[in-house]
A = this chain, B = another copy of it.
């Protein structure tokens, strides 16, 4: 495995340029890349420091989403392997729009928007975490349901932070699962429900880390709870996501489009 350093240079947070670099570099599995992000490179002094740092690794790759033309020129002049996202994409977009780009340094680009509504969504999702405040479930965009430790809370928070969705989550306890239908507060909200599941082996491993050698963490108990939850999902035609091999981004994107 060949090792290479890849710098991600941004005049803002670096979230976009990191995502691009990871995507492109995943197409080169023969290499192992170490990513170093240099965020907030938004004036000549910082560009100069970045150039000096990059120059210490002559074979480094450099991805950039700098927007200010003067800063971009300066970086380009001193960096052999530079991949400037705007240089590579903007000309094609200019042609399609029949309109010249107006690059301006420091403009907030990427995912930084709707701060208020996303923070409201996070606060909502925390307030309705783990079955809290069931009387407010009708205010949710989505309600995630599933057994203990299936990943409801992180998924709800990711959907709130990334997409500004108000996502409640409600646990299905062994007592709930022993009934013939879903708990009453959920029955009133069927269209909003999304079921999470995962493999019994994964669930047992997750529970085991928390309560070693408990009945709660036993494979038999996990199998029984998951099977009962899945019967409820089938009974009410609730969309289900199996999270066994998914990242939280993937789970969230699938739930959003379910």
User: A27-40 CB contact bits vs B (8 Å, 1 = yes)?
Assistant: 11111000000011
- Copy number in the complex reads 2
Stretch from A97-105, A136-144, A173-181, A214-222 contacting the other chain: A97-105
Interface residues of A in 54-108 (CB under 8 A from B): 61, 65, 67, 80-81, 83, 85-86, 88-90, 92-93, 96-97, 99, 101-104, 107-108
Interface size on A, residues (CB 8 A): 70
- Asked if A4 is at the interface of the complex by the 8 Å CB criterion, the answer is yes
Across the interface, do B252 and A13 meet the contact criterion of CB distance under 8 Å?
yes
Which residues of chain A have a CB within 8 Å of any CB of chain B? 4, 12-16, 18-20, 22-31, 39-40, 61, 65, 67, 80-81, 83, 85-86, 88-90, 92-93, 96-97, 99, 101-104, 107-113, 115, 118-119, 122-123, 126, 151, 153-154, 157-158, 161-162, 246-250, 252-254, 257
